Structures are given as structure tokens and as C-alpha cells.
Structure 1
Amino acid sequence: MLTYDVVVPVKLLAEAKTRLSPSLDRSARADLARAFVLDTIDAALAAERVAQVIVVGDLSGHVDEVPAGVVVVAEPEPRSLSAAIRHGIAEARRIAVDERVAGERAGRRSTRSHRGIAVLLGDLPALTPHALDAALGAASRHPLAFMPDAEATGTTLATAAAHTRFEPAFGADSAMLHRALGFHDLSHDVPAPLAERMRRDVDTIDALDAAVRLGLGAHTTAALAAREDRGAPGDHRTDAQPSSRPIDSTRKGAA
């Protein structure tokens, strides 16, 4: 079974999820961004096809919440989603070389060289290990693959098989770019209920409502419940009803 080293880029939490304003204040957005990332990491760690999780970016102040075994590396300057992803892929390959050399010195054959690399955006609070395993299982049949987001314009997951050149194109119109670059579209290869969880990133209040309907991870559930208990002005209510607030449709980035 092909397994993957999974890179999760994380934007500065204090600056994340600006498209959730003005419905949520800056503190609420940062709390939710943190929760989204931690739920995404938890799902990845529990997936059978994930060998290792590498987080690139800001989890400052939350290191104690990061599960054991996750590699956390600083985001390079100047900060950008593309730079963070490139850095994470390079780190995964560096660790692979180090492990292979250590194994050879100890007389062991390393299986690391047979693992793929995946980039998974960290704003998937409804993601489950089963959904990610289904996507990675489908991806393992292709040298390059990607999962478009729920709007079919962005990308939530991009993968490369072992020994395959990997230069994903996250950002504006990334779904179109990935198809043009020869990445296989996984949206019809995964059962719809699982694909829906895999594709449901959260940038807007409507998207958050949709994720609530799918079922959230523990961190996001707790973050929403805590803010509702405090009754802070402008907080989003998890009543699974679509919001009537206007949605900013500007380009999306990392979690």
C-alpha cells in the first residue's frame, strides 16, 4: 500500500480567514483557523495511508496542542502559500534522505523512498481519516493527482507518487491549473459522501455552515461552542442554517 508524507501549510493564524469577517471578529477567526488546522492534522494522523505529517507555518502559542509525531517547520520568508508548500515538500524529501542513510548505516532497508508526497490544505474541519484514505487510495493509481474544492475552482489536496516531480499550483484557479499540468482529478474517483468531506474547505460563513452539516472535528466543535457560550457579538451560530450575510469571493489561500 502506497503511503504519503503529508505537508500542511498554515498561514499566520492572526491573519487567517479574513473572508469570515465581518461575521466573526479577528480573535474568533484566529481561534477557528487554529481549530481547522488541528482537526485536519488529527484526520491525517489517523489515516492509514499517511506516514508522516509535516506542518509548515504558524502554530505559535499552540505547540502543546500539536499531536506527537508531527514535524513543525517555520515558514520561509517572504511568506506565501507557494513558498510554504515548496519548503514543506523539500523538508519531506530531506527527511526521507536522512532516514534512508540512517537505515543503510544500520543495515536496514528503508521503505521511505517508496512513499509519495501530498499537500493538504489545513482548513478542512469536516475531514475524516476515512475520507482522506479514500482520496489517497485513488491518488495512488496516478503519478500526479488533485482534489478540487467544493466550488471546483480551488484545490484541497495534491499528490505525487514516489520519485515524481512535484510542483503543485495552489492559489487562484488552481483546479484548472492542476488539470493543465497533468494532475488527475479525483473528484469522481472517491465516493460522493467522502469526497464531500475532502472538498469542504472553509473560507466563508456559508462554507462553515456546510461543514457544520457534514459534521465537524473535535477542535472546531469546541471552538464554536466556546464562543457561543461566551455570546460574543458577531459570533457565528452553529444552527446549520445558511447565512444571509454577503460573501467575499476574493481569492483564497492557506488555512
Structure 2
Amino acid sequence: MLTYDVVVPVKLLAEAKTRLAPAVDRAARAELARAFVLDTIDAALVAERVERVIVVGDLSGHVDEVPDGVVVVAEPEPRSLATAIRHGIAEARRLAADRSTSAAGASGRSHRGIAVLLGDLPALTGAALDAALGAASRHPLAFMPDAEGTGTTLAAAAAHTRFEPAFGVDSAMLHRALGFHDLSHEVAAPLAARVRRDVDTVGALEAAVRLGPGAHTTAALAARGVVDAVRRGEADSRAADSRAADLRPDAGPSADVDTDPDAGAPPCPSDSIRKGAA
């Protein structure tokens, strides 16, 4: 069974999750960011296909004691997601080479893969991550798009494979162009949903709550009454969208609903979760 060293980039708490404002205040955002990271790490630590978790960034604001199986390396300057990921991959390769040399005596070649996992997946479970990495193991390069289909939450490479993931804006499109295999249809939908549901916005947080977040996020939500704030924010967002639609020049009755008196009640518009909606 192919196993992986998993790199998790961790952002400074003070800079995290700004798009949850104003529904979630600054202190609560920092606490949620901390909880997301801890739940992501916990899920990775219990996944059977994960051999080691390498955190790039400062965990001092997240945990009092680094759990067994987690290696923490400082984030290099200048700080950016791309820089942290490159540093984490390099560290994974260095540790793998050291391990292989001491075990085999000479080769210095590891037979583990390397994966990069974003640290804001509060609904992730070990079983869901195992399913995604199991699917990834069938391809030299693979990725899991986020719930919106534009970003990426997980990218993985087989052993001895050049690995230069492209996290950031439109990363799903970029990963496909770079030859990464899209895993979204190779993992059972209930498990894939947990791997794909990162949280940047109020709508995404509400979706993660519906999936069922991990223990740290559940506690943080309860302690700060965030769920009620999130729901108020969602209601305000929907109301704003409705007002904007009413003001459109072409927003007459025929634009969006069937007004045939024999057609019954008009259909309810379906909610959508949009990146950047908060």
C-alpha cells in the first residue's frame, strides 16, 4: 500500500479567515482557524495511508504540545502559500532520504508519496482522507478540487515523481493543465465532500457544519456561539442577493419564475455556496 508524507501549510492566526467577517468577529475567526488546523491534522494522523504529517508554520498558537507523528518546520520568508508548500515538499524529501539511507544503508530513495493538504478542512476524517489518497495512489499526480470546483484542497504525487503543485487562484484548472488527475469522481461522494469542503466564507462554514465538523471545530463553534452568527450572516447575504435581483432592470416576474396561474407556486430558488461570498 502506497503511503504518504502529508504537508500542511499553516497560516498565522491573526491573518486567517478574514472573509468570515463581519458575521464572525476577529477573536472567533482566530479560534476557528486554530480549530480547523487541529481537526485537519487529527484526521491526517489517524489515516492509514499517512506516515508523517509535516506542518509548515508556527504551531505555538495552535497546540500546547506537538502531537506524535507531526514534524513542524518554520515558514520561510517571504511568507506565501506557494513558498510554504515548496518548503514543506523539500523537507518531506529530505526526511525521506535520511530515513531511506539509514534503513537501507545506501540508496536514499523513499517509496512514499508526498501530498499537500490545506489546513482548513474541519469536516475531514481519516476515512475520507484514506479514500482520497487511495484513489491518488493509482496516478503519478492527482488532486482533489474544492467544493466550488475552482480551487484545490489536496494534491499528491507518487514516489520519485516531480511534484510542483499550483495552489492558489484557479488551481483546479492549473492542476488539470499540469497533468494532475482529478479525483472528484473516484471517491465516494460522501467522503469526497469532506475532503473538498475547505472553509473561507460564511456559506462554506455553514456547509461544513452540515457535514459534521471535528471535535475542535465543534467546541470552538459552541464556545463562541458562531453557528447563530453564521446563520444570521447567511440570511443577510440571501436578503442582499434578493434586493439586488429586485433592482435589476430585467427582473420582472417573467425573468425568473413561471407566472402561469395554472402552474402552481413558483419554484424556490436553490441556495448556492460561492467562493468569496462572505
| Alignment TM-score > 0.5, same fold | yes
Identity between Structure 1 and Structure 2 (%): 78
Equivalent position of 1:244 in the other structure? 235
Residue 115 (1) aligns with residue 112 (2): yes
Matches within 5 A, 1:7-26: 7-26=7-26
**In structure 1, how many angstroms separate the alpha carbons of the residues matched to 2:231 and 2:188?**
23
Equivalent position of 1:182 in the other structure? 179
Give the direction of change, closer, same or farther, for the CA distance of 1:126–1:94 in structure 2 (3 Å limit): same
Residue 58 (1) aligns with residue 58 (2): yes
Equivalent position of 2:145 in the other structure? 148
**In structure 2, how many angstroms separate the alpha carbons of the residues matched to 1:92 and 1:202?**
26
**In structure 2, how many angstroms separate the alpha carbons of the residues matched to 1:15 and 1:139?**
31
Q: What residue ranges of structure 1 are gaps of 5+ in the alignment?
A: 229-234
Equivalent position of 1:42 in the other structure? 42
Structure 1 position 249, deviation (Å): 4.5
Give the direction of change, closer, same or farther, for the CA distance of 1:39–1:182 in structure 2 (3 Å limit): same
Q: Would you say the 8 A contact 1:210–1:240 is kept in 2?
A: no
Q: Would you say the 8 A contact 1:47–1:133 is kept in 2?
A: yes
Give secondary structure in 2 for the equivalent of 1:226: helix
Amino acid at match of 1:29: R
Structure 1 position 43, deviation (Å): 0.3
Structure 1 position 27, deviation (Å): 1.1
**Deviation string for 1:182-222 (max 9, x for gaps)?**
00000000001101111000011111111111101000001
How many residue pairs get aligned? The number is: 242
**Deviation string for 1:209-254 (max 9, x for gaps)?**
11111101000001111112xxxxxx44288798124499559xxx
Runs of at least 4 residues of structure 1 off by over 3 A?
Answer: 238-242, 245-251
Give the direction of change, closer, same or farther, for the CA distance of 1:2–1:22 in structure 2 (3 Å limit): same
Q: Would you say the 8 A contact 1:45–1:52 is kept in 2?
A: yes
Range 165-174 or range 204-213, more displaced: 204-213
Amino acid at match of 2:83: A
Matches within 5 A, 1:1-255: 1-105=1-105, 113-228=110-225, 235-237=226-228, 243-246=234-237, 249-250=275-276
Q: Would you say the 8 A contact 2:200–2:276 is kept in 1?
A: no
Q: Would you say the 8 A contact 2:24–2:230 is kept in 1?
A: no
Give the TM-score of the pair, scaled to structure 1.
0.89
Amino acid at match of 1:180: A
Give the TM-score of the pair, scaled to structure 2.
0.82
Q: Would you say the 8 A contact 2:55–2:70 is kept in 1?
A: yes
**In structure 1, how many angstroms separate the alpha carbons of the residues matched to 2:100 and 2:77?**
29
Give the direction of change, closer, same or farther, for the CA distance of 1:15–1:248 in structure 2 (3 Å limit): farther
- More relative contact order in 1 or in 2 (CA 8 Å, sep 6+)? 1
**In structure 2, how many angstroms separate the alpha carbons of the residues matched to 1:35 and 1:86?**
24
Q: Would you say the 8 A contact 1:212–1:240 is kept in 2?
A: no
Which protein is bigger by CA-based radius of gyration? 2
**In structure 2, how many angstroms separate the alpha carbons of the residues matched to 1:44 and 1:172?**
25
